[in-house]
Amino acid sequence: MTTLINTHSHHDHVSGNVAFPASVDIVTHEVTAANMQVMRAYSGRTEPPANVFADSMGRGLPTQTFSERMSLGTGDDRVDLYHFGRGHTGGDTWIVFRAHGTLHSGDIFPGKNLPFLDANNGGSGVDIADSLQKAHDNIQGVDTIITGHSTQMTWADLHEYAAFNRDFLAAVRAGHAAGQSVQEIVAGWTMPEGYEGYRAPAPAGLTNSVQVIVDELEGN
């Protein structure tokens, strides 16, 4: 193994870096690299994850970063990396295995679930729908998506997920414009019709997502 790609900075995706030899190149988006240096607490939580990189004297931190696009390897081994904006975090990387028509989305597309928005690490409930749509519209030649925490999805599922996030943002905007509190918006939200197979979010997750969006709308 020569190269490891981290889709974002959360501990369940990066803590294993320290187990690999120092000769392995670790590639991330530049925002993810900055997040990994500090390992902040996630939005809605008070305790930060264990900083395995501080404990290992920096072992496992990125050795290469990119801003918008990067390609690794050639021929059938080519892998293309993309960043289309903020979403789950500020540094979500889309990984395309070109020869296999397959994309790994990381947690910006976790499956048919409400996304976890980590504003403490750059995530955005205002921007995520646009970031998802840009990925759908600009990446070509993919038919299979490996999601962050669910089953495989199709390209059409990604388009639908962008619409779902757009509708969620619109609902929170409407509640906020009507003077509702975060808890009132949460209490009044129901899964929109037409999103077959989408799971109802846990109350804590729904509250965090609404809070993140309201904070953004209020400029906090």
Q: What would the pLDDT profile of 110-166 be if each residue is shown by its tens digit? A: 999 999 999 999 999 999 999 999 999 999 999 999 998 889 999 999 999 999 999
Residue 163 near residue 126, CB atoms below 8 Å: no
Residue 209 near residue 114, CB atoms below 8 Å: yes
Q: Who's near 86: CB < 8 A, 6+ residues apart? A: 92, 122, 123, 124, 127, 128, 131
Residue 92 near residue 107, CB atoms below 8 Å: yes
Cα→Cα distances 22→1, 25, 33, 40, Å: 11, 8, 17, 24
Collapsing DSSP to helix, strand or coil, 82 comes out as strand
Number of C-alpha atoms within 13 angstroms, CB side, residue 115? 36
The percentage of the chain sitting over the pLDDT mark of 70, rounded to a whole number, equals 100
Which pLDDT value is given to residue 125? 98
CA angle 12, 13, 18 (to 5 degrees): 95
Give the model's confidence band at 183: pLDDT under 50 very low, under 70 low, under 90 confident, else very high: very high
pTM of the model: 0.95
